[in-house]
Amino acid sequence: MVSTESSTTPRRRLPLPRPAPRRDPRPAGRPTEVAPSRPEGGAVLGCGVYVDGQRVPDVDPADALRVAQERGGFVWLGLHEPTEEEFAPLAEEYGLHPLAVEDAVYAHQRPKVDRYDDGLFMVLKTARYLEHEQLTATSEVVDTGEVMVFLGPHHVITVRHGQHGGLADLRQRLDDQPDLLCHGPSAVLYAVADHVVDNFVEVAASVEEDVDELEASVFSPQRTDDIPRLYQLKRELMQLRRAVTPLDLPLHALAERQVEMVPEAMRSYFRDVQDHTLRVRDQVASLDELLSSILQASLARTSLADNEDMRKISAWAGIIALPTAIAGIYGMNFEYMPELDWRFGYPLVLLVMALSCLLLWRAFKRTGWL
């Protein structure tokens, strides 16, 4: 849900609920990335002050906001999975709204943009493609995380959740783009959103390769059981879809509506990110529809293979039933039976059995049952 309403009445700060113990949703044995080591300052992994698009060197994080306000710039803080205790001093210093702080600490939010007083709070889902040698019924293909962005007149605070989606490289690239940073904190918000959407493009392209591999397997001459793998990939694709689809509305609000924190010059940038998001959304939707079609084709092919097996079993059962019936008749040991006392009666019955089986086999072969 997109919210752009401003609050004119100061809201009472409510105490945040105690965090529940975090559980690792990944199954045992799955390779994980090592999280960056936390500095002595807590969850803050990066801090920089930018004035007129240039980064101010040698600024103490404790004085960053003061320096940014005095020199008309802004400070960019980067955090990774902060606890309530670690985030509380920053929230007090930067005047962050308690509801937004709660969302940033405990995560698990949909992509959205909210306006609190004179600041913005945006949530973006991040995604990463998990490499695997072969797609199986238990393969995890898409791993998702979150990036929350607090935007104020003199600050940008990014809070990252998950073991991927680091912003250190993005910060280095932005340091070389003073023309973009001159637009203020909204330039960082644009760069983060663009970085997230670019990752969506890469993940969707990799998932498409898995879909192509499954499609080739389903329609190959060999008989394969791809239904569990198709269902698993469809579940993984749903995670990517949940990350991409809701992002359209927040980006539309930033690109088309009058938002105080986003200058007119930055709207075209957000419009470009929205366009890329729509393309990825359409690609993911197409892949989901294609997977559904492949799944139906696999089910139909499995049903057809079962019918073919049943026909073969029925045909062989019919072939075996005829000599069994003849042998059963002669096994009743009646005194008066055809050719019972004839010298060649036994070979003749065997010959009749063999010829009848051969004729039945030929008939079933012509009709395609064998």
Q: Does residue 149 sit in the same domain as residue 185?
A: yes
Coil, helix or strand at residue 365:
helix
Q: 334 and 358 share a domain?
A: yes
Q: Model pTM?
A: 0.74
Given 264, 280, 302, which residue is the final one in a domain? 302
Q: Contact at 8 Å (CB) between 158 and 167?
A: yes
Instruction: Tell me the residue type at 207.
Output: V
Which spans in 52-184 are helix H?
Answer: 64-71, 84-94, 98-106, 168-175, 178-181
> For residues 185, 187, 189 and 195, what is the CA-based torsion angle, rounded to 10 degrees?
-150
Residue with tokens 């045909």: 315
* Collapsed DSSP state (helix, strand, coil) of residue 33: coil
Q: Which of 171-180, 239-248, 287-296, 337-346 has the lowest mean pLDDT?
A: 337-346
Is position 328 within any domain? Answer: yes
Q: Are residues 354 and 274 in the same domain?
A: no
Query: Residue 35: what pLDDT?
Result: 41
- Within a domain: 2: no
Domain membership of residue 108 (yes or no) is yes
54 within a domain of the structure (yes/no): yes
Q: Which comes out higher in pLDDT, residue 143 or 10?
A: 143
Per-chain mean pLDDT for the chain:
82
Give residue 339's pLDDT: 65
In sequence order, which residues have a C-beta less than 8 Å from that of residue 243 and are 6 or more positions away?
111, 125, 126, 127, 144, 200
For residues 149 and 298, membership in a common domain is answered with: yes
Residue scoring higher pLDDT (59 or 200): 200
**Same domain for 130 and 115:** yes
Whether 21 maps to a domain, the answer reads no
How far apart are alpha carbons 129 and 144 in whole angstroms? 9
| CA–CA distance, 78 with 64 (Å, rounded to integer) | 13
Is the pLDDT confidence value at 291 over 70?
Answer: yes
Q: Is the pLDDT of residue 362 over 90?
A: no
Q: Evaluate whether residue 95 is within a structural domain.
A: yes
Query: What is the number of domains present in the chain?
Result: 2
Give how far Cα 113 sits from Cα of 100, 150, 251, Å: 10, 10, 8
- The residue ranges of DSSP E strands in the chain, in sequence order, are 44-51, 54-56, 74-80, 112-116, 119-129, 142-152, 155-161
- Residues 3-25 have pLDDT tens digits of 444 333 333 333 433 334 433 43
pLDDT of res. 96: 92
Whether the per-residue pLDDT at 39 is higher than 80: the answer is no
The answer to whether residue 18 sits within a structural domain is: no
Does residue 157 lie within any of the structural domains?
Answer: yes
pLDDT of residue 172 exceeding 80, the answer is: yes
In this structure, what token pair is assigned to residue 300? 């139909």
Q: Contact 236/242 with Cβ under 8 angstroms?
A: no
Instruction: Provide the residue range defining the domain that includes 134.
Output: 44-302
Could you tell me what percent of the chain has a pLDDT over 90?
A: 47
- Residues 152 and 120: their CA atoms lie apart, in Å, by 7
CATH number at residue 200: 3.30.460.20
β-strand pairing of 112-116 with 44-51: unpaired
